[in-house]
Structure 1
Amino acid sequence: MRSLQILVVDDDDADALMIAEALEGGEASTVVDRVADGREALDYLRGEGDYAQALRPDLILLDLNMPRMDGRETLAAIKSDDQLKAIPVVILTTSGAAPDIVASYEHRANAYVTKPFTLDEFEGTVRQINRFYREVATLPTQPEA
C-alpha cells in the first residue's frame, strides 16, 4: 500500500484532531498536515510564506465553513489554478444543505461527505476516504519541480 500526503483544511481544532488520529491510525503511512482556513491552504499549496518547504498533498480534505476564506472560495481557487487543479479535493463538512452540495460539485469537488455526528462514525468515514484514495483510486503523479 502506498502512503498518502493529506492536507486537512479545517478551522475546528477538535475535528482536525479526530481526522488526524483516524488517518494516522491506519496500516499504511499517512502524513497529515493541517491549516485553519483557505488563505493558509493556498499559501501551503503554493509553497509561500511559512509553507515554503511544504510538500504537495495527494489529497485535500476541505471544510466549507471557515473564517477569512471559506471552503467554497478555496475550492474555486484550487480548481481554477493550473498548478493545483489536479489535486483531489474531498469536501468534509457538517453542512448537508443542497446548495452547498451542488456548488461544491459545480466547482469540481471530487467528493462531498457530510461529517457524521458520532466519534466512531466520524473516524470510520475518514478511514474510508483514506482507504479509497490510498488503495483504489489512481492519483496524479507529482509535477516535476
Structure 2
Amino acid sequence: MAELKPILLVEDNPNDLELTLTALERSMLANEVITTRDGVEALDWLLSRGPHANRDPGDPAVVLLDLKLPKVDGLQVLERIKSDADLRHIPVVMLTASKEERDLVRSYELGVNAFVVKPVDFKEFFKAIQDVGMFWAILNEPHPPRSRSTPMKVTKG
C-alpha cells in the first residue's frame, strides 16, 4: 500500500483554519494535515528550508492554499510552486473567499488545479472541504514520484 502523503493547508484566518481542520477530520481521512499560516512558511515547508529544513522528505498530496495571506500571498506561492520543476506536479487548490474574476483568471493562468470559493454557510463550507479533501487525498491518482536529484528524460519522436 502506498504511503499516505500529508495535506498542506495554508490558512491565516484562525476561524477558517479550525473549520477546515474539523471538516477534514470528519472526512475520516487518514492523511496528516500540515498547517502553515502564511506564504513564506508554506514555501519554507515545500522547499524544506528554514525551520522545515529537517522535515520528513516528500511532497504533499495536495496544497489547500488561501489566496489572501500575509508576507507572500497565495498567488505568489502558487506561481513559485508551478514554476519549480520539483514542485509543479503537486496539486494546488485555491481555497478562498474571493469571488473576484481576476483572482480566478490569474490562478488558472498560474496553473492552479482547482479554485474553490469558501461558502459563507457553515454546512456548505464543511461539505466543500470534505469533498476537496476526499478527491485530492483519496480519489486523485497522483503524479508518480521521482527523485529530485534525477532529471526527467525528454525524448524526441
Q: Using the alignment, how far apart are the partners of 1:30 and 1:120 within structure 2? A: 22
State TM-score, norm by structure 2: 0.85
Which 5+ residue runs of structure 1 have no aligned equivalent? none
User: More displaced, 27-36 or 105-114?
Assistant: 27-36
Equivalent residue number for residue 20 of structure 2: 19
Tell whether 2:122 aligns with 1:116: no
Equivalent residue number for residue 104 of structure 1: 107
Runs ≥4 residues deviating over 2 A: 1-4, 141-145
Q: Using the alignment, how far apart are the partners of 1:26 and 1:134 within structure 2? A: 11
Report the CA distance shift for 1:137/1:80 in structure 2 as closer, same or farther (over 3 A). Answer: same
In the alignment, is the contact (CA less than 8 A) between 1:24 and 1:31 conserved in 2? no
Q: Secondary structure at the match of 2:111?
A: coil
Paired letter, 1:35: T
Q: Using the alignment, how far apart are the partners of 2:17 and 2:29 within structure 1? A: 20
Report deviation, 1:60: 0.2
In the alignment, is the contact (CA less than 8 A) between 2:93 and 2:114 conserved in 1? yes
State TM-score, norm by structure 1: 0.92
Report deviation, 1:4: 4.6
Report deviation, 1:26: 2.0
User: More displaced, 16-25 or 80-89?
Assistant: 16-25
Equivalent residue number for residue 131 of structure 2: 128
Which 5+ residue runs of structure 2 have no aligned equivalent? 149-157
Larger Cα-atom Rg: 2
